[in-house]
Amino acid sequence: MAITDEFRVNRASDFGTALRHFRIESGKTQVEAAAMERIGQSYLSSLENGRFGSALAHALRLLRLLGCEVIVRRRAPRG
C-alpha cells in the first residue's frame, strides 16, 4: 500500500481529500460517485472540499481530545 493510500484525518478537509483520492483511484467521476449514493454532484464536490458542517469538525476534535486518531484507508479484500 502506497503512503497516499492511507489518510490521517485531523480536519474535515482531510476527510474530503481522502474521499476525492479514493473516488479518483476507483475510476469514478463525481457524477458517477454521487449517483451511487443518490446525492447531487455539487454536494459531493462540497464534501470533497471539506464542507461537512460543524458536526464532523466537533467529532474529530473530540476524538483528538480523547487521544484517538481517525485513519481512512481502503478495506482489505475479503477471502
The alpha carbon of 74 is separated from its chain's Cα centroid by a whole number of angstroms, namely 11
Tens-place pLDDT, residues 9-52 = 999 999 999 999 999 999 999 999 999 999 999 999 999 999 99
CATH fold of 3-73, please?
434 Repressor (Amino-terminal Domain) (1.10.260)
The CA distances from residue 62 to 9, 47, 58, 70, in Å, are 13, 20, 6, 11
Residue 78 is predicted with a pLDDT of 82
How many residues does this entry show for the chain? 79
Residue 1 is predicted with a pLDDT of 43
Q: Give pTM, 2 decimals.
A: 0.84
Residue 76 is predicted with a pLDDT of 82
Residue 3 is predicted with a pLDDT of 52
Query: What is the distance between the alpha carbons of residues 74 and 79, in angstroms, rounded to a whole number?
Result: 15
- Only one residue has cell 460517485, namely 33
Residue 4 is predicted with a pLDDT of 61
